Amino acid sequence: MKKENKIKSIIQAILTDLLFWIYIFGCISFLINHWFEKTIPSNFVVIFGIAVGLITFILGLSVGRKVFFPTIRTDKKWHKSFWGWSVFFILLITFVVGWNLVEVDLYKLFTKFRNAGGILSGIFDPNLNILTLCLTALAETIYLALLATVFAIPLAFSLSFFAARNLMPRTFIGNTVYIIVRTIATIFRSIEAIVWAIIFSVWVGIGPFAGMLALMIHSVASLTKLYSEQIENIDPGPVEAIKATGASTLQTWLFAVVPQIISPYLAFTIYRWDINVRMATIVGFVGGGGIGLLLLQQQQLLRWQNVGVIIWLIAIVVWTMDMVSAKVREKLQEM
C-alpha cells in the first residue's frame, strides 16, 4: 500500500469509528431520556463516543479497521470478534430507537379497528350520486398529467443532448454546458413534485394549472436524465460514420443519434405519463386541483361514502394506466 493511501485509510477508519460510537452513545442517551426521563448532556455523548472509538481503534478491534484495512486477515467468525458484536449492537439499538421514535403501538393496531369502520363501509357503499362531479375532477387529473408530460417532452428532448457526456465536446464550453444542464436537472429532480405544487399553488393559485406546472417541472428534470443516459448508451459507430460524411453537428445528432434513441424515448415517456397520473392525485392534495383536491375536501367533511367513490375511481385509473403502459412498452421493446 502506498504511504498516502495508508494515511488516508487510517483517517477514514478513525472517523468511521468515532461516528460509530458517537451514534451508539447518542442512541443510548435517547433511550435513557425516553424511558427514565433523565437528560444526559450531549458533550458527554461526544466525549464517550470519541474515547471508546479511539480505544477500539488503537486496540485494533474496531469496525473502521475491518472496513478500510480488508487485507488484515481475520479468520474468526463474526460472532467471535469484537467488530462483529459492535455491528450487531448498532443494528439492534437502531431498531429499538426506531420503534420508539415511530411510536409503534401494536395494541392500537389490533384493538381500534372500529375507528376505520366509516371509511371502510364507505368504500363498500359508495355514493354514486356524486359520480358526475368525481368524473369531472378525474378528467382534470388525467388531462393535467397528460399536458404535463406533453409539455415536458420537447424540453427534455432538447436538453438531453446537452446533458449527454458523449455528445458534448471536452472543451471549456462543452464541459460548462454539460455541467450546468446536469446540475439544474439534478436539483429540480431532487425537489419533489409535491413541493413544486405548493410553490405553484401560491404562484398561479390553487387548481389544476398549478398541478400541471409542478408535474411538468419534475418531468422535464427526470426525463432529461433518463433521455441523456439513453444517449450515452448509444453505439458510437454510426455517429463516427455520419460525421465522416461531412454532416454538420445537428445533422449528426438527427441522423446518427435520434434513430437509436427513439424507441426507448417513447417507452420512458409513456412510463412518465403513468407516473404523472399517479402523482397528480397526490399533488391535488396540496393545491394541484383534480381528484386529489376533491378527495381532500370530502375526507375533511367526513363524507365517507363520497370518499369511497373517489378511491374506486383512482384505483381503476391507476390500474388501467399501469396495464396499458406496460403493454405499450412491451411492444416498443420488440421494435
Partner 1 sequence: MKSIIELKNLHKVYATGTHALKGIDLEVKEGEFCILLGLSGSGKSTLLRCLNRLIEPTSGEIHIDGEDVIAAKGQKLRFIRRKIAMIFQQFNLIKNLSSLTNVLTGKLGYSTLIHSLTFPQHKNDVKIALENLRRVGLKEFANKKTRNLSGGQQQRVAIARALMQDPKIILADEPVASLDPATADSVMRYLGELNKKDNMTVICSLHFLSLARKYGTRVVALKDGKIVFDGTPEEIDEKKFKEIYGEDAEEVEIR
Does residue 154 interact with partner 1 by CB under 8 A?
A: no
What are the φ and ψ backbone dihedral angles of 295, each rounded to 5 degrees?
A: -60, -45
Does residue 241 interact with partner 1 by CB under 8 A?
A: yes
Does residue 233 interact with partner 1 by CB under 8 A?
A: no
Residue 228 in contact with residue 163, Cβ under 8 Å? yes
Residue 163 in contact with residue 181, Cβ under 8 Å? yes
Q: Which of 279, 157, 122 is nearest to 213 (CA)?
A: 279
**Cell numbers found for residue 197:** 405544487
Does residue 255 interact with partner 1 by CB under 8 A?
A: yes
Interface region with partner 1, contact rule CB under 8 A, candidates 61-69, 219-227, 255-263, 274-282: 255-263
CB of 243 to partner 1, least distance (A): 6
Q: Which of 41, 237 has the CB closer to partner 1?
A: 237
DSSP state of 285: I
Q: Which of 70, 259 has the CB closer to partner 1?
A: 259
Does residue 254 interact with partner 1 by CB under 8 A?
A: yes
What distance lies between CA 198 and its chain's CA centroid? Answer: 18
Q: Which of 146, 128, 121 is nearest to 310 (CA)?
A: 128
Report the residue from 84, 118, 174, 238 that binds partner 1 according to the rule CB under 8 A.
238
Q: Which of 241, 324 has the CB closer to partner 1?
A: 241
Q: Which of 142, 147, 291, 326 is nearest to 219 (CA)?
A: 147
End-to-end CA distance of the chain: 51
Contacts of 239 (CB under 8 A, 6+ apart): 166, 252, 256, 257
Does residue 247 interact with partner 1 by CB under 8 A?
A: yes
Site string for partner 1, 260-299 (x = CB under 8 A): x--x------------------------------------
Does residue 166 interact with partner 1 by CB under 8 A?
A: no
Interacting residue ranges for partner 1, rule: CB under 8 A = 235, 237-238, 240-248, 250-251, 254-256, 259-260, 263, 335
